Amino acid sequence: MAKTLIVPGLRNSGPAHWQTWFETQLPDTHRVEQENWERTCLSDWAARVRDEIDAIGEKVWIVAHSFGCLATVTAAFERQDRILGALLVAPADPHRFGEPTALLEEKLQFPSLVVASTNDPWVKASAAEYWAGQWGSAHLNIGEAGHINVDSGHGPWPEGLRLFERLRADKIV
């Protein structure tokens, strides 16, 4: 089975976050570590994702959250052939972070699913849907789920794990 790369967002995903729980549920996972979890810089964060993909040395599945989704997509454009698919949960709105969007407006060349909610304080549902369309990703709005993190009640997230398993089985996109 291929390796899974976990790509957290701002401030990392702590011990109670669903991404950390995924690591206990999925074999052979690796987590991207950013130099500074408190400061977002898309080019730096994407470089870390690319470095981790290269270090793994084989094709990977990616599970990203928030700003980690933007870093994943940016990195992916240079590593399309190394990525089997990506679960992109609650992608951050690049406008909120002052990041240029032109480099994000391409289609991904692998299966992907954007999971969003109607009341995410970091990205409007319409923006998440827009980015899913730009990336050629399937889009799933799961209703009022906040930022799909610990603060919104998403520690262990069995439904998210099922979505990832369906993506890997090519039953979503």
Least confident of 34-48, 58-72, 100-114: 100-114
pLDDT band at 138 (very low <50, low <70, confident <90, very high): very high
CA-to-CA dists, residue 72 to 42, 80, 112, 152, 153, angstroms: 10, 11, 11, 23, 24
Q: Distance (Å, rounded) from C-alpha 117 to C-alpha 129?
A: 10
pLDDT of 148 over the 70 cut = yes
Q: Could you count the other beta carbons within 10 Å of the beta carbon of residue 80? A: 13
Q: For residues 46 and 67, is the Cβ–Cβ distance under 8 A?
A: no
What pLDDT does residue 145 have?
97
Question: What homologous superfamily is domain 3-168 in, according to CATH?
Answer: Alpha/Beta hydrolase fold, catalytic domain (3.40.50.1820)
Amino acid present at 29: T
Q: For residues 88 and 112, is the Cβ–Cβ distance under 8 A?
A: yes
Question: Residues of the chain with pLDDT > 70: what percent?
Answer: 98
Alpha helices (H) in the chain, listed in sequence order: 18-25, 42-56, 67-79, 125-135, 158-168
Q: Distance (Å, rounded) from C-alpha 31 to C-alpha 97?
A: 23
Q: Distance (Å, rounded) from C-alpha 161 to C-alpha 154?
A: 12
Q: What is the mean pLDDT of the chain?
A: 94
pLDDT of 73 over the 60 cut = yes
What pLDDT does residue 134 have?
96
